Amino acid sequence: MNTNNNNQDLPIKPQQAQIPQPDPYSHLPHPVQPGPSPNPHPQTRRPRGFAATAAAASAAASADNTPAVSSPNASGKGKREREKEKERTKLRERHRRAITSRMLAGLRQYGDFPLPARADMNDVLAALAREAGWTVEADGTTYRQSPPPSHTVSMLVGSFGVRPMESPLLKNCAVKECQPSVLRIDESLSPGSLDSMVISERENSRNEKYTSASPINSVIECLDADQLIQDVHSGIHQNDFTENSRVPVYVMLANGFINNCCQLIDPQGVRQELSHMKSLDVDGVVVECWWGVVEAWSPQKYVWSGYRELFNIIQEFKLKLQVLMAFHEYGGNDSGDVLISLPQWVLEIGKDNQDIFFTDREGRRNTECLSWGIDKERVLKGRTGIEVYFDFMRSFRTEFNDLFTEGLITAIEIGLGPSGELKYPSFSERLGWRYPGIGEFQCYDKYSQHNLRKAAKLRGHSFWARGPDNAGQYNSRPHETGFFCERGDYDSYFGRFFLHWYSQSLIDHADNVLSLANFAFEDTKIIVKVPAVYWWYRTASHAAELTAGYYNPTNQDGYSPVFEVLKKHSVIMKFVCSGLHVSGFENDEALVDPEGLSWQVLNSAWDRGLTVAGVNMLACYDREGYRRVVEMAKPRNDPDHHRFSFFVYQQPSALSQGTICFPELDYFIKCMHGKKSKAVAVAQKLSQWVVRQPIAKKLPLVIFSLHPYNLIPAWKKIVHVLKANKARSLMICQYLDQLFLRNITLLGGIAGDQVS
């Protein structure tokens, strides 16, 4: 027992005399001598925390004239309280660090701030100061290096209604009296008021002798033609992702071309679908090989005839091929009329032994895939779960050995759970789940419960061999449960034990299956799909991720151990990218954070040296959605230049059905490939033509470089205005900008021959 506790337990005597202390200022003269203090005792600080509890107990004991006696139980209780307070302090600190990391990620991705990997607030302040034009040295010394803007530029801004904007275009210019900035037009002016402001060459010819002293020309004269072209090209690259890096794009072939008897039912439709893909310049196709189709009726009786015909047609179009080993069920939610179940002989076994399927707390069975509890249990006609998976993969490798040798099949994706993703089937719509419910734990089959009892006994707490009884239902919210709420049982000793065991079962399943997959597919790339469970990410517990099998609360990284196993087997991690816009209501209702989750998952994978790929969610995107996906696949300011190795585009329906917006999809694929569209190429030719003109005509190019997307539409009108009016006025740029906005739906390339 420490000394402080002993002192606090002594009885307090309120009438005890105090020894008077000498006044250190008694030798100084005082105009007024203070009278005697009614309370000669010095003012003591009010005890706080555990000291307040001990003081209250001592005061109560003294009031009863009974000395307080320190007991071992009270001391032990205080120690437990201190330990809990330490844990809460750690949790709050980790939560603050998580918020800081998301803020830094946003500054890196959207603010173009070159922050280091281990940045702190000092780095953020230094970056903000440098962005504002200040110089920040290594020791923190901060000062301005350049004088404030000159009176000339201020007069120019006031006269023409423009505002300065810093640009790297002018950093290397030798300027004497002009501020190194680019002029941006004030968008508040209306196009109707600009028509009268266009000054023709004839009217300005009389004032040519004054143009040399104009502040506009003083800005233009410091610009070099090569710099202008380079700035325009860099602006287009920055917005269209047309740099040198190329991310191959694969398209998932829609289901329904092969029936449950493994027969190709529509060869002409397949050719039409592949023709659409070829016209979009995709790199390859992804085909799902269904366990419930190939081994449907009898164990180890594999029928590959339909897939052989399909692969031969794909080979005719000279497209690369990735194949998914689909050990899950398909249909029932968004699949239309297509329904692919597990093999019939497996379902027959399930009628007698329902524990081969995942089970929730109420005892409801989920037949989407087999429970991981039977991975090493011989309950499938004398075979274990992983043996069944291995036999299927080995049969495929033997059947299509010629396609592997020819290089047509470039990679194999291993389905490790529902929807082919590495997760528990915790969000089953068939069992009543609706977004954004937290889902339920899927560990109540007898084989999983047996493994849980073994783990609890090994830990020395056999009474922990149970699932949490306060984790809510499929559609519960975290704050409605005692397990996932703030400071809930998820962070208790039992909660940590259970969640660790639950996530370790997922990791062990991946480890076992991938070991055999590498043996079956030697010298072939293996892919594993990781889900994006982004709802309730901004809560402390991350409830939806916990039920899915990822032990990723605020105070722990749940993806690192998973990625360590993937790195062990040298597989490619394919992450589900969310490019959908999150509404304010959804943000407040479900506390979603898809960008924060993506940042954590991708950086954790890249830090461990994993090769990363991407796949979109099964939804139609607009151009902004596609741009968000491209930004995730090709981060702008990543100092390590990380990129996706490839991207898989999932389509809600076949391309030939006409439900896909082809211009948007074509734009997305070109951005992924780093190619320039025809409109952008014409824009560059136009910029080169303007640079070859006299000095007064170069100013519009400076404005255009700030609006690279406005160069795309209405080429005939732009060229006509530039050539006919021979613009020398700054205001014509606003006129053109309004023309761009009026005709933004037009595509480029209309007048490519006009420009050349």
Q: Residue 67's pLDDT is what? A: 46
Low-confidence ranges of the chain (pLDDT < 50): 1-43, 49-50, 64-70, 146-239, 334-335, 695-699, 701-717, 719, 723, 725-731, 733-756
Closest listed residue to residue 570, CA positions, set 625, 602, 611? 611
Closest listed residue to residue 370, CA positions, set 442, 308, 321? 442
Distance CA 717, CA 739 (A): 8
Q: Residue 421's pLDDT is what? A: 96
Alpha helices in 428-492 (DSSP H): 446-459
Give Cα separations from 241 to 157, 232, 625, 671 (angstroms). Answer: 33, 14, 15, 5
Closest listed residue to residue 360, CA positions, set 561, 368, 352? 368
Q: Residue 497's pLDDT is what? A: 97
Give phi and psi for 224, each to the nearest 5: -100, 150
293 close to 260: Cβ distance less than 8 angstroms = yes
Q: Residue 218's pLDDT is what? A: 38
Q: Residue 375's pLDDT is what? A: 96
The one-letter amino acid code at 89 reads T
Are β-strands 142-144 and 134-136 bridged in parallel, bridged antiparallel, or unpaired? Answer: antiparallel
Identify the structural domains of the chain with CATH numbers, from first to last: 249-673 (3.20.20.80)
The one-letter amino acid code at 217 reads N
- Tell me whether residue 685 is exposed, middle or buried, using C-beta atoms within 10 angstroms of its C-beta: 0 to 12, 13 to 18, 19 or more: middle
389 close to 516: Cβ distance less than 8 angstroms = yes
Are β-strands 320-326 and 284-290 bridged in parallel, bridged antiparallel, or unpaired? Answer: parallel
Distance CA 44, CA 61 (A): 20
Name the β-bridge partners of 527: 413, 572
- Dihedral sign for Cα 414, 417, 418, 421, please: negative
